Amino acid sequence: MSTEFQRSRPPLALVALLISAFAIGTTEFVIMGILPEVAADLQVTLSAAGLLVTGYALGVAIGGPLITAFTGRLPRKSLLFGLMLIFVAGNLMAAVAPNYAVLMIARILASFAHGTFFGVGSIVATRLVPREKQASAIAMMFAGLTLANILGVPFGTFVGQMWGWRSTFWIVTALGIISLVGIGGLVPRIAQEAVAGFRQEMRVLRSKQVGLALLMTVLGFGGVFTAFTYIAPILTDITGFGAGAVTPILLVFGIGMTIGNTVGGKLADWRLMPSLAGMLVLLTAVLALFTLTSSYKIATVVTVFVWGFASFTIVPAFQMRVLQKAKGSQNIASALNISSFNLANAGGAYLGGWIIDNGPGLHALPWVAAIVTAAGLLVALVSWSLDRQDAELSSQARHDRTLNT
């Protein structure tokens, strides 16, 4: 690959990854906005329709690592292209699904592309840029998720409400086809490194630091969804906003996410663990503060913006940390971290629902969420401490060798 090619193509290749992430993020979250239409058309209960969200999340959490492990020897560009073919097939099946069962199968099929795509895509993104910009490259790809929440989900919800939920999936299918063109034309063929076999890839689970990194993701991001899953009732029942104000406030959250994702990538490139610890401190503080500000409208809007900012500063840092510690098994570790994000979503939503039904209630969600994220901060500090211990041992070993010679 020529130097000139490396300078000119990587930004375009990252745009192709961003568009793909936008399409995947849209199909993941847009179902929440069109659940009533799906339930009415397929004649199922709203709770049954809600299982379409659960089915997708479980498909990501389980399918991602397995598919990644068994496709480790495929060229990265070919694998990304194949995953988007699966994505297109799943959404096309959803658009024409004659009943609930077929729609569930379609959602799970589409979800299989999610975990592996973001896992492998993160690695490809780091290979397209210099070492000092790798976290920013990951952040650019994940910006597709934030843009999906700002643009894709509201537009897809509007289309589904106006012209039927199937039209939403037709649009997502078209986005998938655009992504296929982008990957095929813009992502370069990257030289394949020596790839570990399945058993060797799975050995990454024995690494204490990889395990801590995955736990960091589950807890740190789990706090976000403990409260955010129920942001609409918080805004209407506690803050006193009308239902019509929820969408604009969610847009404020999404703008904060987009800015935070970019800033988080740059901070992670600068100093990964100090920045990550600081980001988690900020997120914990914002969630705790929301316990007080949620009673005041202007303060709530400001807090929601900072909350969105803080919640996505940590995303590229979490992903970079896993890649940093999973030497020789980055493919499976990266996919496992994407699964961890989805477990954080599901676990946070479950915990928030339990607090509402069996605990102190809706008003307690922000401080409970803060406790969950604080637990993630504690894990980060333990992992960082192990880094310093390893550095000291390495320094001492070098010193001893120098004395011996």
Alpha helices in 271-364 (DSSP H): 272-293, 297-325, 330-358
By residue count, the chain amounts to 405
- Mind listing the pLDDT tens digit for each residue in 106-137? 999 999 998 889 888 888 888 888 888 888 88
- Mind listing the pLDDT tens digit for each residue in 343-388? 888 788 788 888 888 888 889 999 999 999 999 999 999 999 998 8
Please name the amino acid found at residue 11. Answer: P
What is the structure's pLDDT at 3?
A: 38
DSSP state for residue 44 in the 8-state scheme: -
Decide which of 221 and 359 is more confident: 221
Half-sphere exposure (CA, 13 Å, Cβ side) for 129?
A: 20
Q: How confident is the model at residue 196 (pLDDT cuts 50, 70, 90)?
A: low
Whether residue 35 has pLDDT greater than 90: no
What is the structure's pLDDT at 199?
A: 62
What is the structure's pLDDT at 204?
A: 65
* Rounded-to-integer distance, Cα 335 and Cα 380, Å: 20
Handedness of CA 262, 335, 382, 204 (dihedral sign): negative
CA distances to 10, 45, 227, 246, 247 from 240, in Å: 47, 29, 17, 11, 14
Query: Mean pLDDT over residues 218-225, rounded?
Result: 92
* Greatest C-alpha distance within the chain: 79
Whether residue 6 has pLDDT greater than 60: no
- Mind listing the pLDDT tens digit for each residue in 131-180? 888 888 888 888 888 888 788 878 888 888 889 999 999 999 999 999 99
Domains 11-187 and 197-388 share a fold: yes
Query: Mean pLDDT over residues 234-256, rounded?
Result: 85
What's domain 197-388's architecture?
Up-down Bundle (1.20)
| pTM: predicted TM-score of the whole model, two decimal places | 0.76
What is the structure's pLDDT at 260?
A: 92
* Rounded-to-integer distance, Cα 253 and Cα 308, Å: 5
For helices 330-358 and 46-58, the axis angle rounded to 10 degrees is 150
* Residue ranges of domains in the chain: 11-187, 197-388
What is the structure's pLDDT at 8?
A: 41
Handedness of CA 185, 187, 189, 195 (dihedral sign): negative
What is the structure's pLDDT at 97?
A: 96
Q: How confident is the model at residue 403 (pLDDT cuts 50, 70, 90)?
A: low
CATH assignment of 11-187, given 1.10.10.410, 2.40.170.20, 1.20.1250.20, 3.40.50.300?
Answer: 1.20.1250.20
Whether residue 195 has pLDDT greater than 70: no
Q: What percentage of the chain carries pLDDT values higher than 90?
A: 40
Rg (CA), the chain: 21
Whether residue 102 has pLDDT greater than 80: yes
- Mind listing the pLDDT tens digit for each residue in 296-333? 999 999 999 999 999 989 988 998 898 888 776 777 78
The chain-wide mean pLDDT, for the chain, equals: 85
Token code pair at residue 300:
């709530």
> Token pair 């590229």 is at which residue?
316
Burial bucket for residue 244 (CB in 10 Å: 0-12, 13-18, 19+): exposed
Decide which of 190 and 362 is more confident: 362
